[in-house]
Chain A
């Protein structure tokens, strides 16, 4: 099987789906780039992270649309295009820019189907990079997916590897509801085996990344490879864990998590977000509510601190949860019961 990066996997999914379905359009700032430039070269960017590279040459500027800096209207236009029968994939570049487009995401897109009595479909994907790790500071490094997960009417995808990224993006574009698709910027170059053709990964089905007996670790996005790292060390001492990657936070595969906890009796949830109202605290609450009797020890959550994301390398390193904190949390649940 070909080994490609997460960036390339997403790019493949976009190429495949635009070729298969003429209703799919891509829009955002610099998704191609070079329009109005003096070199005359289009695709000068191909997306700031290179995810939409080459699309304009295959599908033209009618379907691959460079927009002005107007996030509110990018999402609004994607909403309207979706209601009118297209299947837009809008790019917000950085998840933090959700702040500018919030109304169109959570008052508009998320509400249409329900509010219009089930008559409207909004087959919309909003892609964005997220997360810390590149010293992009407070306004370019946040996770944002907890806010989105809290909104009824949105589906939320957070892939951790190239294989999942491709299959989940194909599912997202074919889904009839608005999907917010989070791409960790520190994972774009992560490599993995990815089949050439078309395949879908259903939403609401977690991946069991590792199997073990002493504890359950639930991790998202970049926290998945970090948890794998922590496990390497723990495994050497004979401590094994289930490592579950939910892949989508809405819908959430509660069943896989609860079943694992019923076997291990211990839970560690890892989330790059600040702790309050995070996906970590949400999953911890679900397990406390529905799996309380299976727990041998208090649940541990491993999260970023309750602060904005700092700039300096030393600060950001201290901010982002890493393998060491995950390892410590596993030891803690083992020590506690």
Chain B
């Protein structure tokens, strides 16, 4: 795998940024200042970053309700995201969308999506556009274990295969859809085999390991960027927090998350790997940690004090008023 020092540092910074962003939101959520539903991505950073480090602004991604990680990995402005989550006038979507609808078309980010299964068909369309443009760009959709049971996702798999479009399906099996385990709801259990049934090559990855996801995505792109049609990355992972902020998590065994945090954490794993190999020293990573912490702190403070939209803004961005 060819990742130079700068690429490694960037990947680490992105993963750390997602982690700090989510850990901070988890704390801030208790102040009651953040409205609506917030679904945190902490724990799954290696997937978003392992996938998106291969992409440019001209590649598209379609995200989910748990979208903060995908947004950051795709290069969305962290300050603008934080303001959006706080519902501010200069948030990425002017406070109109909130956590579940962060989008930035300039970054190739087609939007988080509050309808489970909404994204993959949209990404098929973006892949049609990418194919017609003929510049080697791809469209990527992220889908959870729960979302993989939605008819729209199965339709997207089939259509992408039929149309042979440059579309990469990323499946993140974090073991749960809301309060229900994948052990119950995911027939056949091995989602990869389901996808292979559509004739789509599947590259399996350890979703706790950046390098594993990065490699799987590299292989998937080798298929899709060279006219081979769709491919899939199937990563198993876990989420560190509840389904949404405030979820009592009655369905989860005590200590489950702590064990993952202790033994499988993607940031710890990355750090050990690059320091053990002598590629980057710990002090450099510590410095990144400190910078990221400061960045998230500044973004949070700025978001808290930013101006909210006004009542008149309700009527903007519509094509007609009655």
Contacts and interface: CB of A to CB of B under 8 A. Distances in A.
B4 interface: no
With most chain A CB atoms within 10 A of its CB, the pick from B88, B183, B250, B321 is B250
Contact of A315 (B95, B100, B115, B253): B95
A96 B322 contact: no
Given A314-B309, A315-B313, A41 B250 contact: yes
B320 A306 contact: yes
A314 B310 contact: yes
B212 interface: no
Interface in A18-45: 29-30, 33-41, 44-45
A128 to B, nearest CB: 14
Interface in B98-150: 98, 100-101, 113-118, 146-147, 149-150
Nearest to B34: A135
B308 A48 contact: no
Interface residues of A, number: 49
Contacts of A307: 314-315, 318
B159 interface: no
A82 B101 CA distance: 36
A150 interface: no
Interface stretch (B42-50, B72-80, B171-179, B191-199): B171-179
B100 A34 contact: no
Given A30-B179, A44-B179, A135-B36, A37 B251 contact: yes
Interface of B is mostly: loop
A186 interface: no
B87 interface: yes
Interface residues of B, number: 53
Contacts of B318: 306-307
A307 B87 CA distance: 17
A275 B320 CA distance: 12
A70 B135 CA distance: 36
A312 B114 CA distance: 16
Given A311-B87, A312-B88, A306 B101 contact: no
Contact of A139 (B115, B253, B311, B315): B115
Contact of B36 (A67, A71, A96, A134): A134
Contacts of A315: 87, 95-96, 309, 311, 313-314
A135 B87 contact: yes
Contacts of A30: 178-180
Contacts of B178: 29-30, 33, 45, 48
Contact of B315 (A34, A45, A305): A305
A100 interface: yes
B274 interface: no
A139 B114 contact: yes
Contacts of B152: 100
A68 B153 CA distance: 13
B309 to A, nearest CB: 5
Interface string A259-289: 0000000000000001110000000000000
B151 interface: yes
A70 B146 CA distance: 9
A99 interface: yes
Contacts of B322: 274-276, 305-306
A171 interface: no
A138 interface: yes
B217 to A, nearest CB: 25
Contacts of A59: none
A318 interface: yes
Contacts of A305: 314-315, 321-322
B182 interface: yes
Contacts of A314: 87, 95, 308-311
Contact of A311 (B96, B146, B311, B320): B96
B254 to A, nearest CB: 7
A245 interface: no
Given A29-B180, A138-B101, A314-B311, A44 B250 contact: yes
Contact of A33 (B149, B251, B253, B311): B251
Interface string B184-214: 1111000000000000000000000000000
B92 to A, nearest CB: 12
A44 B308 contact: no
Contacts of B147: 69
Contacts of A139: 100-101, 113-115, 118
Contacts of A99: 115
Contacts of A317: 311
A183 to B, nearest CB: 18
B228 interface: no
A37 B176 contact: yes
A312 B309 contact: yes
B179 A37 contact: yes
Contacts of B181: 34-38
A66 interface: yes
A297 interface: no
Contacts of A70: 149-151
B121 to A, nearest CB: 11
B184 A35 contact: yes
Contacts of B37: 136, 140
With most chain A CB atoms within 10 A of its CB, the pick from B36, B118, B315, B321 is B36
The 4 tightest CB contacts between A and B, nearest first, are A36-B181, A36-B184, A312-B87, A37-B251
